[in-house]
């Protein structure tokens, strides 16, 4: 793997967002420790998520950032603005005093980028800001993250975001699952909770996370009732319903429709360590793409996960071996996470009774082949998670897939990025054939080569003090026209979106003031695009 900052001694990791995001950072954190055993790792996290960091291994120090107080202060204006300024100044000075030699910003917000510019760590990955305060994406891997989550490009990505962030930190060694500590007192609490319920069944203990972060990703409670009734009646399972107090309005009706003797309500009764322990002693978790899904794989408990609406298994699927991901086959999925859905048809592609049988099968063994006629594979694809030969998590269908338009492009892009920015020797293994007409790809190569010629000419003109200003203007206009064409091709031909978007992000991150240096960076970006387009053509 290509590496720029392998050696690290005093590390700052910024991840101020959600519980799931913090858990997804653990392979990166533990990987940095594996490669640099004496390194100190400090995590900067938003205050309300700081508690979870104390239950994650390999973190030496947690710095909590009170964003809520900052926002409230700014909202007061006048003196509040001064309070916010003084608070953030203290945060910056505290961080600067720690003299970090490396920083990884896993939060793409402009706020954290500017904050890290003020902290001024020289070696860094992820997002920071330039001297004028504009956000900068530091590495190709971080640009790939931004490219992959750009909505038009999502279906063409097959690299788990955990691995993309890990590589943006130059981490090669890493654990093959997410990480969390199982505290003895939490485990004792979970065991007592199960024991005191007094289950009459003696079958496997199956946890179910019915809540989800968005309504459109929330499977209908009536489906959960049907699922649970099959599990408890046919398979004699003991079911535990997990969740927060805020999800009780979803979970309580489920309890009412099932056998209360064999369905235990744990929602609202567990802290994060207690939930981790409860999932650890469970045989399996049924869930959507949720924080508890990530906790479960961190504890070593397999999951059967329903990736509905905007959730996409290749992006944020369970990061460990042998989990099952159910991805509905639907033309509008995965949908835009920022838009509502009036017709969540994807919810009806999974039959609860069939899901119950799949859960039962997975409880008893690692499934690598789906039994015939168990599910309608025209409506849902069932994937199994595994790690490839390069140590990257991947998903493979456990049944024959009749048609998947995106599959050859996903595999070709996976090989391209592993080779081009990862430095892995993938070779021709991923070479596939597609029926799509590829003239637009040739157009990308052609226009990138035009950009190379124009940028090269511009450097020659800059180096010559007698160059006429008019010719400099003509060549600059040519480069602007080339950029317009590149972006237009990416929008008009979605399968080229990842290629062109990587170029756009690289262009937006050109830094400096010297004209020649700026043009040399521009030349490098066109060269990268031409090389990648040529290689992509070979792979497909």
Of the residues 109, 134, 168, which one is the last residue of a structural domain?
A: 168
- What's the predicted TM-score (pTM) here? 0.94
Distance of alpha carbon 42 from alpha carbon 223, whole angstroms: 43
Helix axes 161-168, 26-35, angle to 10 degrees: 40
Residues 117, 219: one domain?
A: no
Report residue 381 as tokens: 């694809």
26 and 92 part of one domain? yes
pLDDT tens for residues 66-102? 888 887 887 888 888 888 889 899 999 999 999 999 9
- Residue 431 included in any domain: no
* 105, 247: one domain: no
Q: Are residues 163 and 192 in the same domain?
A: no
Domain count, the chain: 3
Mean pLDDT, all residues of the chain: 93
CATH number of the domain to which 248 belongs? 3.40.50.2000
Q: Is position 407 within any domain?
A: no
161 and 189 within one domain: no
Task: Give residue-wise pLDDT tens across range 381-436.
Answer: 999 999 999 999 999 999 999 888 899 999 999 999 999 999 998 876 545 555 55
Domain stop point among 382, 401, 420: 401
DSSP state of 166: H
190 is a domain residue: yes
Over its length of 540 residues, how does the chain's per-residue pLDDT go in tens digits?
888 888 999 999 998 667 888 999 999 999 999 999 999 999 999 888 888 899 999 999 999 998 888 878 878 888 888 888 898 999 999 999 999 999 999 988 888 898 899 999 999 999 999 888 888 998 999 999 999 998 889 999 999 999 999 999 999 999 999 999 999 999 999 999 999 999 999 999 999 999 988 888 889 999 999 999 999 999 999 999 999 999 999 999 999 999 999 999 999 999 999 999 999 999 999 999 999 999 999 999 999 999 999 999 999 999 999 999 999 999 888 998 888 887 788 888 999 999 999 999 999 999 999 999 999 999 999 999 999 999 999 999 999 998 888 999 999 999 999 999 999 988 765 455 555 567 899 999 999 999 999 999 999 999 999 999 999 999 999 999 999 999 999 999 999 999 999 999 999 999 888 999 999 999 999 999 999 999 999 998
Query: For residue 98, what are the domain limits?
Result: 10-168
Q: What local confidence, expressed as pLDDT, does residue 416 receive?
A: 97
SS (H, E, C) 97-136: HCCCCEEEECCCCHHHHHHHHHHCCCCEEEEEECCCCCEE
Looking at the domain assignment, is residue 253 inside a domain? Answer: yes
Q: Assess if residue 415 is contained within a domain.
A: no
Q: Of 337, 325, 39, 299, which Cα lies nearest the Cα of 160? A: 325
Do 213 and 254 lie in a common domain? yes
Residue 124 lies in a domain: yes
Residues 132 and 280 reside in one and the same domain? no
Residue 17 lies in a domain: yes
> Same structural domain for residues 501 and 471?
yes
489 and 347 in a common domain = no
Rounded to the nearest 5 percent, the helix, strand and coil shares of the chain are 50, 15, 35
Considering the domain architecture, whether residues 208 and 98 belong to the same structural domain is answered as: no
Burial label for 112, CB within 10 Å (0-12, 13-18, 19+), is buried
Same domain for 128 and 54: yes
Assess contact for 453 and 517: CB atoms under 8 A.
no
Residues 307 and 213 both lie in one domain: yes
Please identify, among 105, 135, 168, the residue that sits at the C-terminal boundary of a domain.
168
204 domain-assigned = yes
């Amino acid at each position: 793997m290509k590496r720029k900052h392998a050696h690290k001694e005093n590390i700052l990791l910024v991840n101020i967002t959600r519980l799931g995001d913090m858990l997804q950072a653990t392979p990166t954190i533990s990987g940095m420790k594996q490669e640099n055993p004496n390194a100190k790792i400090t995590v900067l996290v938003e205050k309300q998520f700081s508690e979870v960091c104390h239950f994650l291994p390999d973190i030496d120090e947690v710095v909590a950032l009170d964003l809520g107080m900052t926002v409230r202060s700014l909202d007061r204006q006048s003196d509040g603005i001064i309070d916010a300024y003084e608070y953030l100044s203290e945060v910056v000075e505290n961080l600067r005093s720690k003299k970090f030699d490396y920083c990884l910003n896993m939060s793409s917000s402009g706020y954290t980028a500017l904050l890290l510019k003020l902290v001024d760590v020289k070696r860094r990955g992820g997002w920071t800001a330039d001297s004028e305060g504009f956000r900068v994406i530091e590495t190709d891997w971080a640009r790939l993250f931004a490219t992959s989550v750009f909505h038009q490009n999502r279906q063409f990505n097959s690299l788990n975001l955990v691995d993309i962030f890990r590589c943006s930190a130059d981490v090669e060694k890493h654990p093959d699952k997410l990480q969390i500590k199982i505290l003895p007192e939490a485990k004792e609490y979970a065991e007592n909770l199960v024991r005191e319920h007094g289950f009459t069944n003696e079958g496997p203990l199956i946890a179910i996370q019915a809540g989800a972060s968005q309504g459109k990703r929330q499977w209908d409670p009536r489906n959960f009732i049907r699922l649970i009734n099959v599990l408890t009646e046919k398979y004699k399972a003991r079911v535990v319903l997990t969740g927060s107090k805020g999800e009780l309005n979803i979970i309580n009706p489920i309890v009412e429709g099932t056998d209360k003797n064999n369905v235990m309500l744990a929602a609202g009764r567990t802290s994060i360590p207690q939930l981790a322990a409860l999932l650890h002693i469970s045989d399996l978790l049924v869930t959507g793409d949720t924080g508890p899904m990530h906790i479960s794989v961190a504890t070593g408990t397999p999951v059967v996960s329903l990736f509905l609406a905007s959730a996409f298994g290749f992006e944020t699927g369970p990061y460990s071996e042998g989990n099952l991901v159910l991805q509905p086959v639907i033309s509008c999925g995965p949908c835009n996470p920022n838009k509502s859905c009036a017709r969540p048809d994807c919810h009806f592609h999974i039959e609860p009774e069939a899901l119950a049988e799949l859960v039962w099968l997975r409880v008893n063994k690692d499934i690598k082949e789906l039994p015939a006629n168990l599910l309608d594979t025209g409506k849902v694809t069932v994937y199994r998670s595994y790690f490839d030969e390069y140590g990257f998590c991947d998903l493979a269908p456990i049944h024959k897939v009749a048609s998947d338009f995106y599959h050859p492009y996903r595999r070709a892009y996976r090989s391209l990025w592993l080779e081009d920015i990862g430095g892995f020797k993938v070779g021709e293994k991923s070479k596939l054939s597609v029926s799509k007409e590829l003239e637009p790809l040739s157009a990308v190569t052609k226009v990138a080569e035009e950009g190379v010629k124009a940028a090269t000419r511009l450097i020659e003109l800059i180096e010559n003090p007698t160059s006429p200003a008019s010719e400099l203007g003509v060549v600059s206009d040519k480069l602007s026209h080339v950029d317009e064409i590149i972006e237009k091709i990416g929008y008009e031909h979605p399968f080229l979106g990842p290629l062109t978007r990587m170029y756009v992000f690289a262009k937006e991150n050109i830094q400096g003031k010297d004209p020649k240096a700026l043009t040399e960076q521009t030349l490098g970006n066109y060269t990268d695009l031409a090389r990648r387009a040529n290689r992509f053509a070979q792979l497909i």
